[in-house]
Each structure stands twice: as structure tokens, then as C-alpha cells.
Amino acid sequence: MSTLTKEKIKKSLNRKDNTLIVTPLLTESQIGQSSIDVRLGNQFIVFRSHRFGAFGPSSKNVTEPRKVQERQIINFGDDFMLHPGVLILGCTFEYISIPNDLECQVEGRSSWARFGLQVVTASSIEPGFKGVVTLELSNVGTVPLTLKPGIRIAQLVFRTANPPIPNPYSGNRKYRCPIGPEFSRLYDDYDWKIISGHKISDKRNMY
């Protein structure tokens, strides 16, 4: 498994079949030596912390993510203020499609990290993924940060998947071709409701 260099990235972007798609790349300079810079999209998911006590798999808590979070959309050119200590979900402006012989890692940009902006993504992106990438953005610095849709916010680093995955990202996936940040779907986990106590069977109640 090796990281793709600029030349190999360009080759992957120009293949006839099994192409790597990153669209739209507004400038060619987004392709770096071993990564592609991606821009911030204009949709965000923020917490409605004034509306709930806690979130988690407990019957005392709110268990439906949409009750504790809400989608915010701003226009390109407008500001999104990220205050210290706040976590939001954003997304890339670019829509990406990863071929079955590549996997991808989302990393923050060091220039932003020096101001306290952390770009964390749950895991690497699997071969076969299609969609915009949800970014967990957090300001761990002490000054509020102004984010504008369209700024370069993160970078994608590609590695070869050896051997290629035969049926990549298929089947009943939680997220299919998203074009904005996606709400958490923890409640889709088969054991979520059982553990949270919402669907306790009679048998369990006896114990």
C-alpha cells in the first residue's frame, strides 16, 4: 500500500475506466505533491444544545440525532463563524468517487491547524465511496474562526488498495451518494435500540 504522488494522482484522474473523480476541481493547483486540496462546502450540521440534556444510548437521553442537531446552509461568499470549543459537521465542496483500487485519507491542512482548526474524519474513506465527504470540524484554539464556503479546508491523500476490492462500497450502506454532511445514523445500528432500553423485551424485563 503506497501513497499516490502527484503524477499518479493525475493518471488516476485521467483513466478511461475505474477513474478517480474529484469534481469540480476549480484549479489545477489543488493537486499537490501527494494529495488533493479540497474546499469547504456550504452545508453544516450544528448542535441544538439548548434543546436537550445529553445524547447517547440511554432511555433518559435523546436518542434521535436529528433532535439534537440541525442543518444550516449558507451561501457561497457568506461567513460561518466557528467559535472556540465548538464542534460542527461540514463537508467538502468536491464530490468524490474512489475507484476500487484506491483508498483515501482525509487530513486537515497545517495552515488552518495552526489557528486551532481540527479536521477530523471518522475513518479513512473506503474504495468505492461516492459523495461529498463529511468533515468533523472543531475549533480547539482560543479565537473564533471565520470559515467561508470555497476555502481550501482539507486534503485527500490516496493509497493503493492491493488487491483491488471486487465489490466496493456496495450493499446496504448507511450513506449513499451524499451531497451534504450526513447526520449520524447510530440509531441504525442493530443493537442501538436494545442497548438504549427503548425496545426491551419482556424476557429481559424478568431479570
Residues that bind another protein (CB under 8 A): 13-14, 19-29, 71, 73-76, 93, 95, 97, 130, 132, 150, 176-179
Q: Does residue 182 carry a catalytic annotation?
A: no
CB 117 within 8 A of CB 82: yes
The 8-class DSSP code of residue 45 comes to: E
**Rounded least distance, CB 203 to another protein, Å:** 35
End-to-end CA distance of the chain: 50
Q: Please say which residue, 129 or 196, places its beta carbon nearer to another protein.
A: 129
**Rounded least distance, CB 72 to another protein, Å:** 8
Q: φ, ψ for residue 202 (rounded to 5)?
A: -55, -40
User: From edge to edge, which strands make up the β-sheet containing 36-39?
Assistant: 36-39, 152-160, 102-108
Question: How many angstroms separate the CA atoms of 148 and 29, rounded?
Answer: 19
**Rounded least distance, CB 6 to another protein, Å:** 13
Q: Please say which residue, 55 or 95, places its beta carbon nearer to another protein.
A: 95
Q: Please say which residue, 141 or 164, places its beta carbon nearer to another protein.
A: 164
Q: Please say which residue, 59 or 172, places its beta carbon nearer to another protein.
A: 172
**Rounded least distance, CB 89 to another protein, Å:** 16
Question: How many angstroms separate the CA atoms of 15 and 22, rounded?
Answer: 13
Residues facing 73 on adjacent strands: 43
Q: Could you say which of 107, 126, 136, 182 is catalytic?
A: 136
- Supply the residues annotated as catalytic: 136
